[in-house]
Chains A and B, each alone.
Chain A
Amino acid sequence: MKTFEYRTAAGLAAGLEPGAVFLAGGTNLVDLMKLGVATPDVLVDVNRLPLHEVSGLPDGGIRIGSAVRNSDLAADHRVRTAYPVLSQALLAGASGQLRNMATTGGNLLQRTRCRYFMDATMPCNKHRPGSGCPARDGDHRNLAILGGSPACVATHPSDMAVALAAVDAVVQVDGPAGQRSIPVTGLYRLPEDTPERDTVLEHGELITAVDLPALPVAARSTYRKARDRASYAFAAGSVAAALRVADGLVADVRLAFGAVAPKPWRAYVAEEALRGQPATEERFRAAADAELAAARPLRDNAYKIALIRNLTAAVLTALAEDVR
């Protein structure tokens, strides 16, 4: 690991000098530093900032401090009842030990687990811009079918972010240029020809909170994840869904896909195809296909199309049956 200077953050909007990065739970950053993929000159520890609370918002939503640990958030009673998809997504990710350290903000900003990105000795346009991408012709079984570019086909690894994208969560950011709000669906950039930048955040901007809006449909929501082993593995594909059915028709629906794109993939096309339509498995399957029509799979990851189609149909059917 390259040597660095360590200090604690002075305040929310204090910003960062060039070469400095924020340290929260460290479960991804410290690992990347050991691997030589992250090489910060300065680590600014934000764990002592007052960002550890989950609180109510005036509109009935909730505000999650960015330092709230994944395990605490998954167990939060308000989250479990009003946004079960979020609790389930958190619990589907990592292990008990990692969830006890990993924070809400850090989970959003974790990097891809693409094996070429994680290996500092390999070319990778994300960790060394311009060096090329071995994944397109190499090991890409778990990489993107949507949103990738010739330069990068990395997937965002978070489960939590998929649930947040589905329930219209908004990220609160503080920095030297002031405060701003960014929907989770707008936080991530697609790689295009600059895959080294995962998000729209500027250097020195700190996520202070994630707001969940009051969203009645989210009370009937769920997260389903398919992976190579029963537990403690990244998703091969996942679906976050919320559904309200009235008189057999889809009255409201939220849908997002995980492990298929460089960002949590909010399935707007599928949602639009479903609104007002009969809540049947056939329609759910067709809606997933409408979203997946844009997929551009590589040699070894076309399985994700069928996986996401089937997960979507299964999850929405279960939610619809629950209602009747």
Chain B
Amino acid sequence: MRLTVNGAQHHLVGLDPRTTLLDALREHLHLTGAKKGCDHGQCGACTVLLDGRRVNSCLILAITQQDAEVTTVEGLGRRGEPHPVQQGFLDHDGFQCGYCTPGQICSAIGMLDEAGKGWPSAVTEDDDLLSDREIRERMSGNLCRCGAYPAMVPAIRQAAGR
């Protein structure tokens, strides 16, 4: 089967159909940025972008995504030139241990795109889709056991240009 990740096409020979996208990335392509936290779609550490949309790669079978473009944290920015969300996390110290960070960053990128399209959230009351309350609600699918949330909010706010 084929898998397109960060712009490069890979051919995975003899891949077991049970292999999740997360395991294909980590164990077969050795892209270990996306993390296996809970492996049940409850923590968000495995978040990647699938055709630009944020998803939990632990709940997706790799074999179903042969026509998709997958972007992982390894595909963001360039050496010495981080993605604005990565820069925001650096500037605001948006992590402690760092385990959830690749998922947080991919999720934030997908989230900013959703807000940019005008998608509402459960707390939307007006046209301000990126207030701190909105950022917290929209990022609620990513857990951080260190509790670095207070630094992630301004990191994401900065990446949003606010």
Contacts from A to B (Cβ < 8 Å)? 1, 3-6, 23, 26-27, 30-31, 33-34, 43, 45, 47, 71, 74-75, 80, 87-88, 91-92, 94-98, 100-101, 230-232
Contacts and interface: CB of A to CB of B under 8 A. Distances in A.
B18 A27 contact: no
A92 B137 CA distance: 10
Interface stretch (B6-14, B77-85, B110-118): B110-118
Interface of B: 16-18, 20, 39-41, 44, 47, 50, 53-56, 59-61, 63-64, 107, 110-111, 114, 117-122, 124, 136-142
A3 B17 CA distance: 8
A88 B123 CA distance: 9
Contacts of A34: 39-40
A80 B120 contact: yes
Given A3-B18, A97-B54, A231 B140 contact: yes
B137 A71 contact: no
Given A3-B17, A91-B121, 14 more contacts: A1-B18, A6-B64, A23-B61, A26-B61, A30-B61, A75-B114, A91-B124, A95-B141, A96-B107, A98-B59, A98-B141, A100-B110, A101-B60, A232-B141
Contacts of B18: 1, 3-4, 33
A110 to B, nearest CB: 12
A98 B56 contact: yes
B47 A92 contact: no
Given A75-B119, A97-B141, A231-B122, A31 B110 contact: no
9 contacts: A26-B64, A45-B64, A75-B117, A75-B118, A91-B122, A96-B110, A100-B50, A100-B54, A231-B122
Given A27-B41, A34-B39, A91-B122, A101 B59 contact: yes
Contacts of A232: 140-141
Contacts of A45: 64
